[in-house]
Structure 1
């Protein structure tokens, strides 16, 4: 990277809540925020937004008549984008870009309109414009009245951190002064959960922790799907009002050996972490917020990759999916939020059922990982 990127504000909504204070409070306890949801004739573990946040999102939906037919994935982002903007000195007249991604996109509406088509043989007038991938960024730009570029993309579960990569590229190229990046996932639908169950990765656990992300002794896959959205405001250079800095970024893609898995030693993670570190010694990294989806192979391959890069001095490791579920495209940015909060509060967040680790004396540099189906890995290095 040419120079540091400042994170000047962020906002999110997930099963942990929607304010930094509440989210941090929920990170400090050993409680998970997963609940049981009726799916067809059975039940499945999910991580749902709180009733309070759903009500606030309904208010956003009612704030503009044009928002009434939008998918929840768009509404979630409208909710958090407004919050992030309130914390900055940005104006609609500023030259700022928007890149919001999603792995699944308008899942609820797509399933609704497809069901109507199967029943009636006709498609709703709004079925196309409300389910296109570019829908999210376009509506955020409309709501914020921005003048910069609007980008949407889908790169499975690393979508959010790929949004960050795009923002960094635009800023460092000089093509934009400020950039809002984010990702949203509203995929707690019967069909989407059934897809994950068909892959044999979904949790059937009934004990204290349904999702055993970062439990390397588990004998079953324990992924649990969550919903949420996250947005970060980025600016080039070292700003006085920066919350944290992006010091390095890395990315890599593996040659596909299977549609859904990465190699045993996660070669993509090894490459992305090396790139993010650049000339920085691995010994300087205090913690890593892992992708760790809660699957046997997914968790272990990432650990193997970390051990390859960091050898005998592994940083403190953590993950948040046992607590708020796997939010697909939004997961990387929710992991980034955890990393920023740990830097702010100078406190690690442990996984209660993981093996004990050495606690760093201070937190200065944290690495964040995300990977999607097919080995699309991204690593981001942030610092105080």
Structure 2
């Protein structure tokens, strides 16, 4: 059992943006992927028109926002949704929302922000560099608009301030690492509320070329669900954009109520390999992260009902995660799923979007949809709605993270 002396970390609200829009509407039978604007032969998971309109409306809402990188705008948009859903005070710089009685109680409660990104201001950095190559001069705004700290600091500014604003990168495990940092702060009493998550807007020509150079990009057309987690065979990695941010609150374990969504633990793993793009065949970093997450939450493998996998559709990555699951769970392997067949791989935001997927299933008491192609994930279907879900993320450099979330009955 979890140590009841520590406060519970409750997810009061969340916001997401992805190829499925600003929520996780039930997946349809049509692939949400589209040809890349800068490389029509490559499929990508881009925001749909309605979500794109929301981003552009936010960009135009304040003069300072017109120069922000797309990754920052996605973080602002999803953080606003998370805080609004939580019922907290929203004192944005573009408009002040009225306070409810519940929100007013939080006016003086310490708030901190941790929003990470694998690559940060990808769009702005590439644009500023192209301008430098053309003119030989850098724009005055180039440095402040492309620092990684730019992400969380703008979120904190937009929410009316915070006692701390932390931006970081741990490649594709970044978002879950941000949540792990938030859990540590909340349980240590350094903050009572935390806004945490991940954001990524990497659909640029140079970033797409980098992913192609690694040799993992999907050869399938955008209309044919080109990202295929667990399918085996050639790699089917597809780049996506998106963000997910969560409003977290520390409460006494005795104050939990039915329906509360609790972030029970976040575990971490690391493995040293001969290459920064490689990983061990048995996914040692996955194993470390999953075992630590279970240990910190006081759980055993049979306590898990569902695992939302990192599974990006790459041959080596999918196989390593599958081997790690077998090592940790053995015959007690829970049902497994992934959302990358709908969202692509959103790099530093992927763990947060996987967690949002898990929360949506928990809240609706729904079963994950089967993947519309042959995959080993379909061999372990969920037979009843999950009560507790494990979420994995991992990335270049040997980093991995694992979160465990449950719904209070």
Task: Quote the residue 1:248 is aligned against.
Answer: 265
Distance in 2, Cα, partners of 1:138 & 1:241? 34
Distance in 2, Cα, partners of 1:251 & 1:167? 14
Task: Quote the residue 1:33 is aligned against.
Answer: 32
Distance in 1, Cα, partners of 2:211 & 2:260? 36
Cα displacement string for residues 223-259 of structure 1 (whole angstroms, at most 9, x for unaligned residues) = 0000001100111135549641112221011113221
Matched, 1:60 2:58: yes
Note closer, same or farther for the CA distance 1:358–1:114 as it changes in structure 2 (3 Å cut): closer
Shift of 1:374: 1.7
Matched, 1:356 2:407: no
Shift of 1:382: 0.7
Cα displacement string for residues 43-65 of structure 1 (whole angstroms, at most 9, x for unaligned residues) = 21100001111111111111111
The one of 176, 187, 202 equivalent to 1:172 is 187
CA contact (8 A) 1:11 1:230 kept: yes
Shift of 1:378: 0.5
SS in 2 for 1:24: coil
Distance in 2, Cα, partners of 1:131 & 1:358? 43
Query: Which piece of structure 1 moves more, 232-241 or 117-126?
Result: 232-241
Q: TM-score, normalised by structure 2?
A: 0.88
Shift of 1:156: 0.5
Task: Quote the residue 2:363 is aligned against.
Answer: 344
Residues 1-384 of structure 1 aligned to structure 2 (within 5 Å): 2-19=6-23, 23-26=24-27, 29-39=28-38, 43-91=41-89, 93=107, 94-206=109-221, 208-215=224-231, 218-237=232-251, 238=253, 239-240=256-257, 243-278=260-295, 279-349=298-368, 350-353=370-373, 354=375, 355-384=378-407
Distance in 1, Cα, partners of 2:342 & 2:332? 27
CA contact (8 A) 2:113 2:152 kept: yes
SS in 2 for 1:222: coil
SS in 1 for 2:243: strand
CA contact (8 A) 1:186 1:228 kept: yes
Shift of 1:83: 1.2
Cα displacement string for residues 169-198 of structure 1 (whole angstroms, at most 9, x for unaligned residues) = 110110101000011101100000000000
Q: TM-score, normalised by structure 1?
A: 0.94
Cα displacement string for residues 260-311 of structure 1 (whole angstroms, at most 9, x for unaligned residues) = 1211000111111111111312011111000001100100100000011111
CA contact (8 A) 1:367 1:380 kept: yes
Cα displacement string for residues 352-372 of structure 1 (whole angstroms, at most 9, x for unaligned residues) = 322432433341111000001
Gaps of 5+ in 1: none
Shift of 1:113: 0.6
CA contact (8 A) 1:32 1:324 kept: no
SS in 2 for 1:130: helix
Distance in 2, Cα, partners of 1:96 & 1:165? 16
CA contact (8 A) 1:9 1:243 kept: no
Note closer, same or farther for the CA distance 1:234–1:242 as it changes in structure 2 (3 Å cut): farther
